[in-house]
Structure 1
C-alpha cells in the first residue's frame, strides 16, 4: 500500500508539472514531507488527502490505486459487446516472430498489455506460454475469457488501466499490439523503465505503436485518449538492448468500415 501510494503521488505530481516544492507550497507543508511520501518513508496525514487529491486532479481512490471505471473508457467498449470479434480471431503476424525467437521449450511467462478481445493472448496460451493479460474494457476481458474457455486453455486476465498498471513481478515476454499510443508522453520513460526492469535476462519486448505522418490522413474513428508518437521514438527506449527487429510500415485498415491507412513502428528487443 505504501509503495503504491508513493508511486502515485510522484507520478501524478510529475504529470501536473509540479516539483516537490510546488506541491509542498500548495499543501502548506515542507518539501521534505513530500519527498518522504514519494519514497514511502511516511504517509500523508489523512486530513491532507482531500486537498492532495484535488491538487493532483485525481480521486482519493485513484491515489491509492483503487480507481474503477464504471463508464466506457475506450471507443471499442460497445463493439466488444457484440457477439462477433471486432478484430477477428486470427493472431497478429508478429505473434509468429515470438514463437521463432523465444519458443516455449521451457516455462515462459508472457504478458499481453491491452489484450482487447484476447485473440493474441489465447494464441500464445495454445502454444504453451504461461499467459497473463489485461485490458481496460470489461467487455474485452469477458470475450478473452470466453475465447480461452472455447480453446481449452488457461490464462490469467484482469482489468487495469495501462496508465496506472506497473509490473512488480518478472516476465520473459512483454507483448502489446495497437495499444501503446494511449501512453501519455509524460509517462513513457517511467513505464518503459518499469517494463524493462521486470523482464528476465534473455526476455523479449514485442511492441508496436501508431506514428503520425503528415501525408496520412487521421483515422476516421477518433480516439480522444490517443497520444501522438513520432517515427523512431519507440526505438529510443531500447538503446541498451539487442534490437532483433525494428521497422516502420504503412498499411491499409478497414476497422471502422471506412478504408484508411496507418503508419506503425514495430520493435522486437531482447534483454541480454
Structure 2
C-alpha cells in the first residue's frame, strides 16, 4: 500500500469511527491537555492551535479555561460535533474550526499563535518526512517563545511490531495505523527548539504507552 493509499484509508476509517461513536473519548479533557493548559498559561499564551482535535474534548477544555482556540482535524464529522458542543457549553465565541490535513501547510500566518497542542496526532499514519514537515509548519506559525505540547505512542508500546507493518515504524492494528516514535525521532524534531520535557505516561485499557513532549521556541 502506498503512502497516499494508506492516508486515504485512514481518513475514511476515522470519519466512519467519529460518525459511529460521537462520544468515543468522553467529555472530560485528556491529562495531556490539562498539563498543556498549565504550561500555556505559564508562557502567557492566549491563542492555541489544536491539531487533530476530533470531537473537541481538549479544544473545548482550552476554551473553557479562557484560551482562544483554533481546532483543526481532517474529519468534518468530528468538527461538526465540536461546534455543536461549543454552542451548548457557551464557548463558541472562543472556538473556530478548520478541516485540514496535516500533510498540507497549516492555514495560518507566520507567528500567529502562542501555543500548539496535538494529542496523538503526530503518531498517526504519517511518514517521518511528513512529521518533520509538520513540525516545521508548527514552528512557522508559532510566535517567538511559543510552546508546542504533543503526545505520541512510542516503540515501547505493546502494539509496536504487531499487526500489519507499513514500513517507517508504522504498524496497523485493529484498523488504526500508528507511527511509533523512537527517542531519535523526538530528538530530531526538537532540533532548534528548547526541549523542556519528555514525560512517559500510559493511557487507555491496553494500556497505550506514550510520551508527552514539551518544547518551546527561543525568544
| TM-score (structure 1 length as normaliser) | 0.64
Unaligned runs of 5+ in 1: 1-14, 17-56, 59-68, 255-259
Aligned to 1:54: none
The C-alpha deviation readout for 1:7-34, integer Å capped at 9, x for no partner, is xxxxxxxx99xxxxxxxxxxxxxxxxxx
- Aligned partners of 1:107 and 1:130 also within 8 Å: no
Change in Cα spacing, 1:190 to 1:78, as seen in structure 2 (3 Å) is closer
How far the C-alpha of 1:261 sits from its partner, in A, is: 3.1
Unaligned runs of 5+ in 2: 163-171
How far the C-alpha of 1:72 sits from its partner, in A, is: 7.5
- Show structure 1 runs of 4+ deviating over 4 A: 104-107, 214-217
Aligned to 1:175: 117
How far the C-alpha of 1:185 sits from its partner, in A, is: 1.4
Task: Let me know the Cα RMSD of the aligned residues.
Answer: 3.0
Aligned to 2:156: 213
Aligned to 1:48: none
Highest CA radius of gyration, 1 or 2? 1
Superposed, 1:152-191 pairs within 5 Å as 152-154=90-92, 155-169=95-109, 170-182=112-124, 183-191=126-134
Change in Cα spacing, 1:129 to 1:212, as seen in structure 2 (3 Å) is same
Aligned to 2:185: 233
How far the C-alpha of 1:177 sits from its partner, in A, is: 0.1
Aligned to 2:167: none
How far the C-alpha of 1:133 sits from its partner, in A, is: 0.8
Question: Which is strand-richer, 1 or 2?
Answer: 2
Query: Could you tell me how far apart the structure 2 residues matched to 1:78 and 1:108 are?
Result: 33
Aligned to 1:271: 217
How far the C-alpha of 1:80 sits from its partner, in A, is: 1.9
Superposed, 1:1-272 pairs within 5 Å as 73-82=11-20, 84-103=22-41, 108-154=46-92, 155-169=95-109, 170-182=112-124, 183-213=126-156, 216=159, 218=162, 220-224=173-177, 226-249=178-201, 251=202, 253-254=204-205, 260-272=206-218
| TM-score (structure 2 length as normaliser) | 0.78
Count, aligned residues: 200
Aligned to 1:62: none
Query: Could you tell me how far apart the structure 1 residues matched to 2:45 and 2:12 are?
Result: 33
Aligned to 2:169: none
- Aligned partners of 1:104 and 1:129 also within 8 Å: no
How far the C-alpha of 1:105 sits from its partner, in A, is: 9.4
- Aligned partners of 1:231 and 1:265 also within 8 Å: no
The C-alpha deviation readout for 1:172-194, integer Å capped at 9, x for no partner, is 10100011112221222222122
How far the C-alpha of 1:159 sits from its partner, in A, is: 0.9
Change in Cα spacing, 1:240 to 1:253, as seen in structure 2 (3 Å) is same
How far the C-alpha of 1:235 sits from its partner, in A, is: 3.2
The C-alpha deviation readout for 1:96-151, integer Å capped at 9, x for no partner, is 22332232896711100000100100110111111001111121011111111111
How far the C-alpha of 1:83 sits from its partner, in A, is: 6.5
**Equivalent residue of 1:73, what SS?**
helix
